[in-house]
Chains A and B, each alone.
Chain A
C-alpha cells in the first residue's frame, strides 16, 4: 500500500510539475482572490484584521476545489482510466497517493497564500508562523476529504458543480477548526483544541478513504 501510495503521489506531482497548472493557474488565482479580499476590507481594516484567518481559509477552499478537480481529471481520460485499472493497483494505496500529492500541492499553495495574507492583509507574521502546524494539518485533512469526494463525483455529468455541493458540508468543520486555530494563534485563545479536531478529522478521512476508495473507483 505504501509503495503504491508513493508511486501514485510521485506520478501526480510530476504531472503537476510538467503541466504547471498549479504554478500558472491555481496559485495566481488564489493570490488574486486574496488581493481582492484585502481591497474589500480596505486599508482601515486590513491591518491584522480578525477576518484575516477566515479570508485565508475562504481562498484556500476555492483553490482546494480547483485542485481536487484537477487531481481527478488526470485519471479520467477514458483510455487512461481503463489502462491504469488493468495495472491492478491497490485502491487504498491509490487513495493515499492522491491525497498525499494533493496535500503537498495544498501545502505549497498554503505557504504562498500565507505569505500573501501577511503582505496583503497585514496578518501578524509571528502569529502566522505559530499557526503553521495547524494549517498544515487542516490542509492535509482537506486533501484527504477532497480526494474522497473527488472520486465520488468524478466521471459524472456536472461533477465540477456537484463537488462543492457535496464536499462543503464535510469541509465546513475542517475550515472552522482551521480558522479558529489560526485566529487563536493571532489573537490568543484555544489553539490546540482546534488543532486536535483537525488532526482527528485527518485520521478519520484517511481511514474512510483507505476503506472505501476501491468501492468508489469500481462504481
Chain B
C-alpha cells in the first residue's frame, strides 16, 4: 500500500506573537491536499492570524510547522508565499487600476502569459467590467476580481480571509461553486468566516478558534 501523501499544512503547538501579545497560542493542525477547511470564531479569535501564518506572512514564534513542504521556522518564507494565494476581505489589489491592469500586473509578476487573463476574467464573470477601475466595483465584483487574481496564481494553497462578507446569495453560490472546482482540482483551501459555511455541497471541515487555539474540529 503506497504511503499517504504528506499534509500540505502541518502545525504542532504553533505560537505567534505580535507586540508581546499572543495571536495564536498552541495550534495543532494537519490539512491534506484537495481539502476545504473553514476557520470560524469571534472577532480576535485568531482566524486571520492563522491564515497569515499559513501564508508565510507572519513568523512562527514557537512550536513547529510546515506548509507546502516549507518549514515555517527555518525555511524560505518568500518561496512559500509564491505558492499560496491570498484574498483579503478589503480587497487584494490596487484600487486605482482597472480589472485588466490589476490582472496584467499580477500575471507579469508571476511570469504568466497575459493571454491567461481573459479566461480568468470570464471564469469569474467580470468580462463587462474589465476596464473598470477596481474602486468602482461593487463588493461582490471586487471579490470576483480577487478570485480572478487567484485563478491566475494557480496556487497550491488558497487562503481566503472572510470572503463571504458583504456577498449576496448569488455571490455566495458563485463562490461556493468556484471553491468546489478548485478543491476538486487538488488545491487546498482555507477560508475564515464568522459562521460555518451554509453550503452542504462543499462539506468542509470546520475549525473553531477561540483565544488563539482550536477549540472545535468537525469534519
Q: Which residue of chain B is the closest to A4 with respect to CB atoms? A: B109
Contact of B55 among A4, A19, A86 (CB under 8 A): A86
Q: Which residues of the partner chain B approach A18 to less than 8 Å between Cβ atoms?
A: 96-97, 133
Task: Tell me if B90 and A87 are in contact (CB < 8 A).
Answer: no
Task: Tell me if B91 and A11 are in contact (CB < 8 A).
Answer: no
A25 within 8 A of B: no
Q: Which residues of the partner chain A approach B52 to less than 8 Å between Cβ atoms?
A: 82
Task: Tell me if A83 and B87 are in contact (CB < 8 A).
Answer: yes
Task: Tell me if A80 and B84 are in contact (CB < 8 A).
Answer: no
A78 within 8 A of B: yes
Within 8 A of A (CB), among B63-90: 78-79, 81-82, 84-90
B105 within 8 A of A: yes
Task: Tell me if A86 and B91 are in contact (CB < 8 A).
Answer: no
Q: Which residue of chain A is the closest to B79 with respect to CB atoms? A: A88
Determine chain B's interface SS by DSSP, over half rule. mixed
Within 8 A of B (CB), among A1-41: 4, 7, 11, 14-15, 18-19
A79 within 8 A of B: yes
B93 within 8 A of A: yes
User: When each residue 72-86 of chain A gets 1 if its CB lies under 8 Å from chain B and 0 otherwise, what string results?
Assistant: 001001111011011
Q: Which residues of the partner chain A approach B78 to less than 8 Å between Cβ atoms?
A: 88
> Known: A82-B52, A86-B55. Contact between A11 and B79, CB under 8 A?
no
Report how many residues on chain A are interfacial, defined by Cβ distance under 8 Å: 19
A89 within 8 A of B: yes
- For the complex, give the distance between the alpha carbons of A15 and B96 in Å: 6
B106 within 8 A of A: yes
Determine chain A's interface SS by DSSP, over half rule. helix
Q: Which residues of the partner chain B approach A83 to less than 8 Å between Cβ atoms?
A: 86-88, 92-93, 146, 149
Task: Tell me if A87 and B55 are in contact (CB < 8 A).
Answer: no
Q: Which residues of the partner chain B approach A15 to less than 8 Å between Cβ atoms?
A: 94, 96-97
B101 within 8 A of A: yes
Distance to closest chain A CB from B216 (angstroms): 26
Distance to closest chain A CB from B80 (angstroms): 9
- For the complex, give the distance between the alpha carbons of A80 and B153 in Å: 15
Q: Which residues of the partner chain B approach A19 to less than 8 Å between Cβ atoms?
A: 96
Q: Which residues of the partner chain A approach B18 to less than 8 Å between Cβ atoms?
A: none
Task: Tell me if B92 and A85 are in contact (CB < 8 A).
Answer: no
- For the complex, give the distance between the alpha carbons of A85 and B58 in Å: 11
What are 27 pairs between A and B in contact, CB < 8 Å?
A: A4-B109, A7-B105, A14-B97, A18-B97, A77-B90, A78-B88, A78-B90, A79-B86, A79-B87, A79-B88, A79-B89, A79-B90, A80-B92, A80-B93, A82-B57, A82-B88, A83-B86, A83-B87, A83-B88, A85-B81, A86-B84, A86-B86, A86-B153, A87-B81, A87-B109, A88-B78, A89-B109
Binding site for B on A (CB under 8 A): 4, 7, 11, 14-15, 18-19, 74, 77-80, 82-83, 85-89
Binding site for A on B (CB under 8 A): 52, 55, 57, 78-79, 81-82, 84-97, 101, 105-106, 108-110, 133, 146, 149, 153, 155, 161
